[in-house]
Structure 1
Amino acid sequence: MGAIIAILLLVGLAQWLKSSYIVKQPKLNKRYNWGVFFRIVGTIGYIVYARFFSGGGVDAWIYDNYAAAYAEYFRDFDFSPFYVESMWRNGQLFYTNFVAYPAAFFMIFTFDNEFGIYLLFSAVCFAGLILMFKAFRKNYFFLDQANLLFWILLFPALWFWTSTIGKDSFMFLGMGVVCMGITNKKLNYIYIMIGLAILYAFRPPTAYVAVLALGSFFILNLKDSWLLRIFKISAGLVIIIFLANYLSDQWGVEEFSNEELTELQSGTLRNNEYGTGVLDEKSGGIGSIPQGIVDVLARPFLWEIRNILTFASAIEINAVLFLLFWKRKSVVRFVKDSLTNRLSTFTLAFVFIYVVTVGLFENNIGLIARHRAIIFPFLFLMAFAYDEKVKRAYQKFMWQSRMKMQEQIKTKEKVEQRNL
């Protein structure tokens, strides 16, 4: 029963999010429906992976214990888990603890059905991806919509890793809401603030990266006067200093020196050295940034494949790199226009800062494979933002419209001459 309820909720959500332009275009509509179907496939696949191939368990089982405890309170309309600090995991309301709240409600909706709970988390990710697609469509005139929707909805990393209890699904939802608030004409601050709130609730470091990336299109805007740019840069520096002081208190770092960063890095890396996906040890603070970037954007290499996890991770990242190379003209155009398009500026800034931070503080293939998934929609956008076929089709349509208009004008003139 719970599985059926979850499927109905997923289908209902998908129908609600489906815009009229998707319905009117058979290719988009077909890929959209396949995207919904693969949410179900991904959920089944993840359950099989967790039980038979995970090598000792998955994070979802830990979240499940907390969620089950919270669900017992919520069933009695007792919402004390939200405000009683002693009930929070690790004494923190946000981050890992916050995942248990939606999981608890999903348990209630699906009568504790494992498939149903996982599928609803996958549905949240689906909603976020569709919002990102809609935001991309609004900002890029020559966007190859069909191929972008195909890669966003059917790329395995985006329907597999998010088909479970975890933070990743809500990362896509938060990022989708943030992107909906970014256009070249104006910014919708309500969307941006809601999106940042979602990101902060489930993974504060990602929210910090998003804030820094949002600041990039305020500072790096060629349309502004030099005086306004100086003012924005000054304001940005104040915000960065404030954020740095806040993070230093949170992380126990007295100063942002290379030595302090190395110590923080070593302690963080020890926390994710488990399982069979551990990479070579890295340290050295800022000096390890190049290695970290390679870890996130290229590893595991094909010769490092040891199990099904590293095999899947290697295939997915190589597929993305091949796509970017294949569509390199669009990527180059995207980068060139980044200073005049707010979403492009945000995309490049977010991808760069995120890759650097993940590369610095993670050295586990499983963690990197899950966490780097959030940048894939942006990389797909870079590949399909400027498509020559779409541009030629638009130019042909405009030429035909112009010729048709000229014929109508000539016909009207002939009729007027006859009447005279």
Structure 2
Amino acid sequence: MLRGVFDIYELIVAGIVWIFLFVPVLLVGRACHLSRAITIFVYLWHTLCSFLMISIVLNIGGDEIAYYEGAISGITFSGKYIDIGVGTMFIYWITHVVIDFFDFGFISTFMIFNFIGSVGVVIFGGVISDLQRSGYFYDRAWIWACVALPGLSIWTTSIGKDAFSILAIGLFLKGSMSPRSLPMLGLAVFLMFLVRPHIGIPMALSMAIMTSKGGRTAVSGVIGPAVVAVILLVMLPILTQRLGLVDLSNDSLTDYVSRQGGSVLNRDDGAFWYSQPLPVRWMMTAFYPTILSASGFMEFGVALENIVLMGFFGFLLWRTRFMTRFQREDLHLVLLMLGIWIMLGSLMYNSGLAARQKWMFMPIMLYLALKYSNSVNRREQAAISFKC
């Protein structure tokens, strides 16, 4: 059923799709003030990672095949008929729509998700470029370093939730840099809720914090939190139903964690993961595997990348006096980063999933680390200079 892998016609179609989608990627890069050279690099690098994922999936299998085959048959791997929904069902549905409308093969469908992920990385690169233009750091090499991180691209190239996740995070960061970006923030929360509702909720709360303290008029300061409150009232019942929670009580949450732990004890390193203390699992979520624990070429590459990420995180701790000196405008991002980090480390899973899902909070950490790289608090320094 995997059309478009060896058929020449389908490969040509995939190439046409890739070229056609190059134009909107360039337009997004221009709108985000990202140089054309970096934008082109992101799309080419992202595509290279996409074909690496295709090779891995075809050789050892993966959820991408289940999504594609289910989209063709109209039935998910669990036997349910595909319909519009959130989470996994949304990926089945959108893949089904793409295949049904365009009759795309496997690689062509990959290129659609590759495009979505590329746009997310380009927007993130534009956010980092805006920091450089604002004088938070001066070496343009940091922009290249951030967009070239393999973990940022390799997981967001394939058929699945990660492409939409990085797009949502990119839009949220971009929207956070402007006081008049409520529609962009709302779109980011909506996209995240479509693929990962449990992450959409802390994003909505973060949006409420930002709009309540950042609105320039009384109206915006009231409407923003009100809209978010309505969104949460709709999202919470759906989320509790999907997670199998009777309610949000302590007993219900404890039962959910126990079920999650029991379901993965026989999968990969699930038993090892759940044998660790909670603080250790939080750190493993972000920085595991290490060089010493890596086995195989892929894990070794992830371990090297984790060293870089640990350097960024350590630098952020140092420059902010161990998270005690943040600008008021960044409070919602700090809380969002920590909220997602703690949630993922507490309720899930194993190191394989950690390597993918940590990229829902790692871009925020990279953004904050670079923003505070030039000074602990540029506003405080400006105020001191003004008084002098």
Structure 1 residue 137, shift from structure 2 partner: 5.0
Indicate yes or no: 2:282 matched with 1:293. Answer: yes
1:171 to 165, 168, 183: 165
Report the more deviating stretch, 366-375 or 145-154: 145-154
In structure 1, list runs of 5 or more residues that go unmatched.
Answer: 71-80, 393-420
CA contact (8 A) 1:324 1:331 kept: no
Looking at structure 2, the residues matched to 215 and 291 of structure 1 have their Cα atoms a distance apart, in angstroms, of 30
* Greater Cα offset, 258-267 or 247-256: 247-256
The AA in structure 1 aligned to 2:119 is A
Please state how far the C-alpha of 1:188 moved relative to its aligned partner. 2.4
Normalising to structure 1: TM-score of the pair? 0.71
Query: Could you give the per-residue CA deviations for residues 221-268 of structure 1, whole angstroms, max 9, x where no partner exists?
Result: 7x99xxxx9xx9999999989976775555444565554333211212
TM-score, scaled relative to structure 2: 0.77
**Larger of the two Rg values belongs to structure:** 1
Matched-pair contact (CA < 8 Å) for 1:132–1:176: yes
Q: Is the 8 A contact 1:151 1:380 kept in 2?
A: no
Aligned 1:393-408 pairs, distance under 5 A: none
Matched, 1:182 2:176: yes
Using the alignment, how far apart are the partners of 2:27 and 2:162 within structure 1? 22
Deviation at 1:94, TM superposition (A): 1.5
Indicate whether 1:151 and 2:145 are aligned: yes
Distance 1:43 1:240, change over 3 A: closer
Distance 1:136 1:323 in 2: 14
Whether contact under 8 Å (1:43, 1:115) holds in the other structure is no
Identity of aligned residues (%): 15
Q: Which moved more, 1:158-167 or 1:105-114?
A: 105-114
**60, 66, 70: which is aligned to 1:66?**
70
Q: Answer yes or no: is the 8 Å Cα contact 2:26–2:39 preserved in 1.
A: no
Q: Distance in 2 between matches of 1:361 and 1:258?
A: 13
* Aligned pairs for 1:248-397 within 5 A: 248=240, 250-254=242-246, 256=248, 258-273=250-265, 275-278=267-270, 280-282=272-274, 289-325=278-314, 330=319, 332=321, 336-339=325-328, 341=329, 344-388=330-374
Shift of 1:326: 5.0
Structure 2 residue 28 is the aligned partner of structure 1 residue 3 = no
**Structure 1 residue 215 and structure 2 residue 208: aligned?**
yes
Closer/same/farther in 2, CA of residues 334 and 264 from structure 1, 3 Å limit: closer
SS of the aligned residue for 1:280 comes to: helix
Task: Write the deviation string for residues 162-211 of structure 1: whole angstroms up to 9, x where unpaired.
Answer: 12100010011222233333345x23222222222211111111111211
The answer (yes or no) to whether the contact 2:201–2:232 under 8 Å persists in 1 is no
Query: In 1, Cα distance between the equivalents of 2:102 and 2:324?
Result: 45
Q: Which residue of structure 2 lines up, in the alignment, with residue 40 of structure 1?
A: 47
Deviations 1:35-55 (A, max 9, x none): 121122101111122233x4x
Which letter does structure 1 place at the counterpart of 2:371? A
TM-superposed deviation, 1:152: 3.4
What is the Cα-based RMSD across aligned positions, in Å?
4.1
